[in-house]
């Protein structure tokens, strides 16, 4: 058995940091040394994350006092903050997993396009591996620095990667319609998360130009040797706390495809990916993926349907945005970086009913 992995979290008071902490505390080979929160320093973790009562006696410290004498340091800070922190830890030897967007894009020129600002340290981008094990498993095993993907990007990339890599669809015209829960907006309340405004709604909040589009195009393009992939992403906020349901509309370039061909494509691509489940039943109410059924888990459920009326393939994916879309995927990368089975501490089923 591997030695105990010592870990600290900078920025552990939000939903992402809290979910990461929950999973790390239950990981059989991890010891959480310290967690930070500027706003809540000196307070018990359970005052912010009451679900962890009786699980931990940790208290929040300020980031300057985080225990960095650890094996893995997780950064759960807002976009733009991680890049300011990373430099001071680069020489320490600690492995870093950044859950912000600061190092997800490889090309510095993409940051003004998708984030509206120049990257302050473009020389650091090449140090980070994009932390999606299903696409970069071997790179992550060898990595010292990992940039964990965005939640919407995760749901779209995992749905589309096999058919893009196989050359089955028109990569100049991919459309992703995503429905996402309120926890993706973070723990800080505003009008969009206020219950009377959120309840009963389906709200298009970024129908064009969503920043995760850059990640999706980057990763799918890499699967076809850098050929440009064009993705149209339109997310919608819905009355759900956890979960993302993405529907990808793909237009076929190869005619005569049958279900069996798609089964083979997806099974072959994900044959070494334990957290991918293919869901396509012939009857019953759970014929296709549903966010509710992956809640609290690191699974990504993927289903598909060929359109008999038009040359179109519809691919559906469901994830928990706080687990597979965030903390769970980061731990999956940590497991690989530390020589563990990637399922360690994450191989848990969802609850049903919820």
Catalytic residues: 151
Dihedral sign for Cα atoms in the order 179, 182, 183, 187: positive
Cβ atoms of 275 and 123 within 8 Å: the answer is: no
Could you tell me what percentage of the chain is helix, strand and coil, using 3-state DSSP and rounding each to the nearest 5?
30, 25, 45
> Residue ranges of the alpha helices (H) in 90-146?
110-115, 133-142
Q: And the tokens for 314? A: 């519809």
Cβ atoms of 286 and 217 within 8 Å: the answer is: no
Rg (CA), the chain: 20
d(CA 218, CA 229): 8
Nearest CA among 297, 302, 28 for reference residue 157: 302
d(CA 193, CA 190): 6
The three-class DSSP label of residue 149 is coil
Cis peptide before 353 (omega within 30 of 0): yes
d(CA 321, CA 298): 9
d(CA 238, CA 181): 6
β-sheet bridge partners, residue 145:
96
The enclosing H or E element of 144 equals none
For helices 133-142 and 328-337, the axis angle rounded to 10 degrees is: 40
* Strand positions, DSSP E, 153-287: 169-180, 202-204, 231-238, 244-252, 276-278
């Amino acid at each position: 058995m591997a030695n105990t992995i010592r870990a600290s979290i900078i920025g552990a008071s939000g939903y992402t940091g809290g979910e990461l902490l929950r999973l790390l505390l239950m990981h059989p080979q991890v010891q959480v040394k310290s967690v930070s929160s500027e706003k809540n320093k000196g307070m018990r973790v359970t005052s912010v994350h009451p679900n962890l009562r009786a699980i931990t006696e940790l208290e929040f410290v300020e980031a300057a006092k985080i225990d960095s004498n650890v094996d893995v340091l997780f950064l759960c800070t807002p976009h733009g903050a991680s890049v300011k922190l990373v430099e001071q830890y680069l020489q320490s030897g600690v492995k870093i997993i950044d859950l912000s967007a600061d190092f997800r894009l490889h090309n510095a020129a993409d940051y003004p396009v998708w984030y509206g600002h120049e990257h302050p340290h473009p020389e650091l981008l090449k140090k980070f591996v994009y932390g999606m094990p299903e696409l970069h498993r071997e790179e992550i095993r060898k990595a010292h620095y990992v940039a964990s993907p965005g939640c919407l990007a995760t749901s779209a990339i995992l749905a589309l990667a096999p058919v893009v890599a196989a050359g089955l669809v028109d990569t100049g015209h991919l459309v992703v319609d995503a429905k996402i829960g309120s926890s993706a907006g973070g723990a800080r309340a505003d009008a969009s998360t206020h219950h009377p405004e959120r309840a009963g709604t389906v709200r298009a909040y970024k129908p064009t130009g969503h920043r995760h589009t850059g990640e999706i195009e980057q990763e799918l393009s890499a699967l076809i040797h850098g050929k440009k992939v064009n993705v149209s992403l339109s997310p919608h906020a819905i009355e759900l706390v956890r979960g993302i349901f993405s529907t990808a509309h793909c237009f076929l370039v190869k005619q005569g495809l049958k279900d069996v061909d798609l089964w083979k494509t997806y099974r072959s691509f994900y044959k070494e990916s334990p957290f991918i489940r293919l869901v396509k039943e012939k009857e019953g109410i759970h014929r296709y993926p549903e966010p509710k059924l992956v809640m609290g888990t690191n699974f990504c459920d993927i289903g598909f349907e060929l359109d008999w009326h038009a040359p179109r393939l519809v691919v559906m994916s469901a994830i928990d945005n706080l687990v597979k879309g965030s903390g769970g995927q980061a731990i999956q990368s940590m497991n690989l970086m530390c020589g563990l089975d990637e399922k360690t501490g994450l191989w848990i089923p969802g609850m049903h009913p919820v």
